[in-house]
């Protein structure tokens, strides 16, 4: 099981919001000790990003749901490192740390003596991860940025949304901060690789991970489509740019996702819906032909599926091996038997806030329930316990 894979690894976490905390929560879930350094008065910005908030029964404390999502298993230490004493306390924490994670503007921690060069001089084994908007160098290196900005700047929003000329047309962001989340995942991988390299070299290193780089990489097949064709992808609503039919269709009583990935699946689909001639039609027989002719195929599929209830079709699709999927609300997600079987909803208890419901890290599939990390901390909850082990409490 992976929940103890990083036992003995100490992480000092100076990051806030989502990308950095998502990375350090991964490290915590894998067994690392993560010390989250927060300003004594403000704390992580997302502590105030509610409602919704979870409140103690006596209303003595609260925690935003947003903060809970990415700060499980960490120890919160309240330190104002803009003061000389505070900066010295952080340096003391870092002296024997394996990893430091920060997401301040490029060069922003140098004035406190908390930059890589300053800390590596006393701890050459330190892996120092910097997460920024634009990177450590370049004409925009000092500029701040949030996920939303990079969904637009990196191209994602240019092909996400309804096509021009249709109701609701225009650029659309995703429903969660995917650039932040993917930055946290890339950052996690980078830290693990750097620790592995340190095992071989004995030395740590600086890591430069930025949201702009991740946003551009996140284009994946859409980026490759452009680089090969020279044509920028356009918004296509729920349709897929490389597979067809691969989109949302309405049934008589709701919607489903039809996800046809190859010609064999389309032939089976055509038979199930009573139109085997579609698979024999040169316009639709191959994926490339279907992509070129979806304007004529789409209304045929739409009219057929709309004539019967969703359950009628989904039962038949399952029997024939035709890929489809539902569109669930989150209450339906957590009530789904497969989600329950996978143990994705887990609970932990905070000494003040009581029971918290959290989502298990997918990295820990198969791990016992006790592998779920400790509850996200209140601001400064572990200050005395952590700093009492240092020389400068």
* Beta-carbon count within 10 A of 62 CB: 16
Q: For residues 208 and 339, what is the distance between their CA atoms, to the nearest angstrom?
A: 36
pLDDT of residue 368: 83
Determine which one of 180, 253, 295, 331 is catalytic: 180
Residues 67/38, Cβ–Cβ less than 8 Å: no
Q: For residues 76 and 383, what is the distance between their CA atoms, to the nearest angstrom?
A: 7
**In the sheet where 324-325 sits, what is the strand order?**
246-251, 254-259, 324-325
Q: Is the pLDDT of residue 248 over 60?
A: yes
Tell me, yes or no, whether 227 lies in a domain: no
User: Which residue range forms the structural domain that includes residue 285?
Assistant: 246-328
Q: For residues 61 and 53, what is the distance between their CA atoms, to the nearest angstrom?
A: 10
Question: C-alpha angle 205/102/123, rounded to 5°?
Answer: 40
Mean pLDDT score of the chain: 96
Catalytic residue status for 295: no
How crowded is the C-beta side of 75, counted as CA atoms within 13 Å?
Answer: 17
Mean pLDDT for the stretch of residues 143-160: 97
| Residue 258: pLDDT band with limits 50, 70, 90 | very high
Same domain for 312 and 350?
Answer: no
Q: For residues 135 and 149, what is the distance between their CA atoms, to the nearest angstrom?
A: 15
Q: Is the pLDDT of residue 134 over 60?
A: yes
Tell me, yes or no, whether 172 lies in a domain: yes
Tell me, yes or no, whether 238 lies in a domain: no
Mean pLDDT for the stretch of residues 367-384: 91
Tell me, yes or no, whether 225 lies in a domain: no
Residue 141 exposed, middle or buried by CB count within 10 Å (0-12, 13-18, 19+)? middle
Same domain for 185 and 157?
Answer: yes
Same domain for 127 and 65?
Answer: yes
Contacts of 84 (CB under 8 A, 6+ apart): none
Mean pLDDT for the stretch of residues 153-162: 97
Same domain for 130 and 202?
Answer: yes
Please provide the DSSP assignment of 137-152 as one string: SSTTTT----HHHHHH
Q: Is the pLDDT of residue 281 over 60?
A: yes
Tell me, yes or no, whether 321 lies in a domain: yes
Same domain for 375 and 267?
Answer: no
Tell me, what CATH number does 144's domain have?
3.40.50.10540
Mean pLDDT for the stretch of residues 275-300: 98
Expressed in percent and rounded to 5, the helix, strand and coil fractions of the chain are: 40, 15, 45
Number of domains in the chain: 2
Please provide the DSSP assignment of 145-189 as one string: --HHHHHHHTSGGGSSSBPTTSTTBS----SS-HHHHHHHHHHHH
Query: Phi and psi dihedrals of 190, rounded to 5?
Result: -65, -40
Same domain for 158 and 274?
Answer: no
> What is the model's pTM?
0.94
Q: For residues 283 and 134, what is the distance between their CA atoms, to the nearest angstrom?
A: 46
Same domain for 212 and 268?
Answer: no
pLDDT of residue 373: 86
Same domain for 315 and 210?
Answer: no
Tell me, what CATH number does 261's domain have?
3.30.1540.10
Same domain for 314 and 251?
Answer: yes
């Amino acid at each position: 099981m992976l929940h103890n894979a990083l036992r003995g690894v100490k992480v000092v976490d100076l990051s806030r919001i989502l990308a950095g905390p998502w990375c350090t929560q991964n490290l915590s879930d894998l067994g690392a000790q993560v010390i989250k350094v927060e300003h004594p008065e403000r704390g992580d910005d997302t502590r105030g990003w509610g409602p919704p908030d979870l409140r103690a029964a006596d209303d003595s404390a609260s925690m935003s749901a947003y903060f809970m999502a990415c700060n499980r298993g960490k120890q919160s230490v309240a330190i104002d490192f803009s003061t000389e004493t505070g900066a010295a306390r952080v340096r003391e924490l870092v002296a024997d740390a394996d990893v430091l994670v920060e997401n301040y503007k490029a060069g922003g921690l140098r004035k406190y003596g908390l930059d890589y060069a300053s800390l590596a001089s006393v701890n050459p084994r330190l892996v120092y991860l910097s997460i920024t908007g634009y990177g450590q160098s370049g004409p925009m290196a000092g500029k701040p940025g949030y996920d939303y900005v990079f969904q637009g700047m990196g191209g994602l929003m240019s092909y996400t949304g309804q096509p021009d000329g249709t109701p609701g047309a225009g650029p659309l962001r995703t429903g969660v901060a995917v650039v932040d989340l993917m930055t946290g995942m890339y950052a996690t991988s980078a830290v693990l690789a750097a620790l592995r390299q340190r095992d071989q070299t004995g030395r740590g290193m600086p890591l430069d991970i930025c949201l702009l780089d991740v946003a551009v990489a996140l284009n994946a097949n859409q980026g490759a489509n452009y680089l090969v064709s020279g044509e920028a992808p356009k918004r296509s609503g729920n349709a897929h740019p490389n597979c067809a039919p691969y989109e949302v269709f309405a049934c008589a009583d709701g919607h489903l996702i039809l996800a046809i990935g190859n010609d064999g699946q389309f032939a089976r689909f055509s038979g199930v819906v009573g139109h085997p001639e579609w698979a024999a039609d040169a316009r639709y027989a191959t994926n490339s032909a279907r992509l070129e002719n979806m304007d004529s195929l789409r209304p045929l599929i739409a009219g057929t599926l709309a004539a019967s209830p969703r359950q009628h079709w989904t039962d038949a699709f399952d029997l024939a091996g035709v890929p489809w999927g539902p569109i669930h609300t989150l209450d339906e997600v957590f009530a789904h038997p497969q989600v329950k079987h996978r143990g994705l909803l887990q609970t932990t208890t905070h000494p003040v806030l009581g029971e918290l419901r959290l989502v298990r890290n997918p990295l820990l599939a198969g791990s016992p329930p006790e592998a779920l990390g400790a509850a996200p901390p209140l601001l400064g909850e572990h200050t005395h316990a952590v700093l009492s082990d240092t020389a400068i409490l």
